[in-house]
Amino acid sequence: MIRKFVALKALTTKNQLWVKMRSTGLYLLVPIINFSVSIFTSPIFARHLSAQEFGYFGYFNSLSTFILCFYGLLFQTYYMSIYFRETEERRKEILSTLTLFNILWNVLFFPISYLGLYLYFQLSHSQIPFYPFAILSLAGGVFGTYKGFIQVNYRLSNRPIAFVFLVAGYRVLSTFASIYFVVYAQMGLTGRFLGAFIIELLFFAVSLHIILKGQRIKIEWGVLKKAFKIILPLFPASFLLLPLGSFDNMVLESMNNSAEMGLYNIGKGIASYLYVGLFPFYQTFEPNIYKNTVQGNFRSLKITAISLISLIIISFIAFWIVSPYIIKYLTAGKYLNAVKYANVLALTSGLMIIFSFLDAIINALQETKKHLYINSVTACFCIITYIICGKYFNQLGVAFATIITYVFLVVLQSIVVIRVIKLRPNLSI
C-alpha cells in the first residue's frame, strides 16, 4: 500500500513538472517571437528614426506610465487577488462589472489627463513637441487597459497557448503597422505611435467581446465596493512607485540633450528584452505563487525564489557578453553608444522580476496597505537618487540609479513579507 502511495505521488510530481515545463516552453514563445520580429524590424526603425525621435518616444512612454494606473484603476490587481477565491462563473461576472465601470471612468478621466499633461508641458517649458505624440500615447494606454484583463485570465488559468496568441499577436501587428506608417507613409515618429494606437483599438474590441460575451450589461455596485476597499490604498502606493520606471526620463529631459536621451532609451529598450525573456518563467509560477501564498505553502515559494534568482544571474551574464553584437545589428550600427546603458539597465530588468515575485505575494496576502508604506519610502529614495546621480554622473548615473532604487525596493518588500508571515498564526515560513 505504501509503495503504491509513493509511486502515485512520484507520478503526480512528474506530471506537475511536465506541465510546468510545457507551460514555460509555451510562454517562452512570446519573447522568442518578439525578438524574432525585432531582429527584422529594429534596423528598419533605426534607419528611419533619429536618436532624438527615440528620445521623444521613450519620454512619452514614461509620461503615459505615470497616468496608466488611473486608467486601469488597478482593477487587474484586485481581480488577481480574488481569482482563486471565486468560482469561474462568479469571476466572469466580477470581470464584467470591473470592465464596464472602467470604461465609464475613462470617458471622464481621459480628457482630464490630456489637459493635465498639456498644462505640465506649458509650465515646464518643455522643448519636446506635444501634439500629436501626447494624444496617441495616452489614448493607446486607455484602450490597452482591457487586453490586460484577458492576459491575467490566460495566465492564472494556465492557458499559455491563448496567452501567446494574444501577447505575441499584438506585438507583431503593432510593429508592422508602425513600420507601414514610419517607412511607407513616411510619418516618422508620428507613424510609430499611430501604428500602435490602431492595433490597440483592434484588441480593445476583441477584449470587450471576450469579457462581455454571455454576460449581462450590468454594474454590480457591491463588487465595486469590495474592489475599492482593497485597491484604494494601492492608488497612492502605485503612483508613488511610478518614478522607478519613468522618472529617469524626467531627469534626462531636464539635461536638454534629447540625442543622448535617445541613446539611453535605445539601451533601455534592448535591456528590456532580458525582462521579456525572463518574465515567462515568472508567469509559469505566478498562479502557484498566489495559490501557495493563500494556502501558506511557503516552502514552495522559497524554491521558486531561488530558481528565479539563479536564472536572473545566468541571464545577466549572458546578456553582457552578447549585448554589443545585438545592439550593433538592431540599430544598423548607428547607435553603438547605447551599449553602456543597456548593460547597466539589464540588471534592473532582472531586479524587476524579483520585485514582481514579492509583489505577487503581498497582493495574495491582500496586504495592500503595506504597498503604501513600501512605495512611499521608495519613491522618496528614488527621486533623490535619480536627481543626485544625474547631476554628478550624467545619463549613465541615472542608469545606475535605477539599480540602486530597485535593490532598495526589493529589500523593503522582503522585510514586509517576512514580518506579515510571522505575525499571522495560520502561516509559517
Helix axes 133-156, 51-72, angle to 10 degrees: 60
**Span 24-37, pLDDT tens digits:** 667 777 778 877 88
How large is the average pLDDT for residues 235-244? 71
Q: Which range is most confident: 112-116, 155-159, 331-335?
A: 112-116
The answer to whether 207 and 149 are in contact (CB under 8 A) is yes
Residues 6+ apart with CB under 8 A from 338: 263, 264, 266, 267, 270, 327, 331
Domain ranges of the chain: 1-232, 234-429
Give the length of the chain: 429
List, in order, residues 6 or more apart from 32 with CB less than 8 Å away: none
Backbone dihedral angles phi then psi of residue 28, each to the nearest 5 degrees: -65, -20
Q: Give pLDDT, residue 180.
A: 95
DSSP string, 100-133: HHHHHHHHHHHHHHHHHHHHHHHHHT--S--TTH
Pairwise pLDDT comparison (352 vs 250), residue with the higher score? 352
pLDDT digits (tens, 9 = 90+) for 56-68: 888 888 778 777 8
User: What span, in angstroms and rounded, lies between the C-alpha atoms of 183 and 178?
Assistant: 8
Give 205's contacts (C-beta < 8 A, 6+ positions apart).
none
Highest average pLDDT, of 49-58, 237-246, 250-259, 339-348, comes from 339-348
> CA-CA distance, 369 to 34, in Å (whole number)?
36
Q: Please provide the DSSP assignment of 152-181 as one string.
A: HHHHHTT-HHHHHHHHHHHHHHHHHHHHII
pLDDT tens, 309-362? Answer: 899 999 999 999 999 998 888 888 888 899 999 999 999 999 999 998 888 888
First to last CA, the chain: 32
Compute the 3-state secondary structure of the chain and give helix, strand, coil in percent, each to the nearest 5. 90, 0, 10
**Where does the pLDDT of residue 80 fall: very low under 50, low under 70, confident under 90, or very high at 90 and above?**
confident
Spatial separation of the C-alpha atoms in residues 304 and 282, rounded to whole Å:
9
Degrees, nearest 5: CA angle 400-406-410: 150
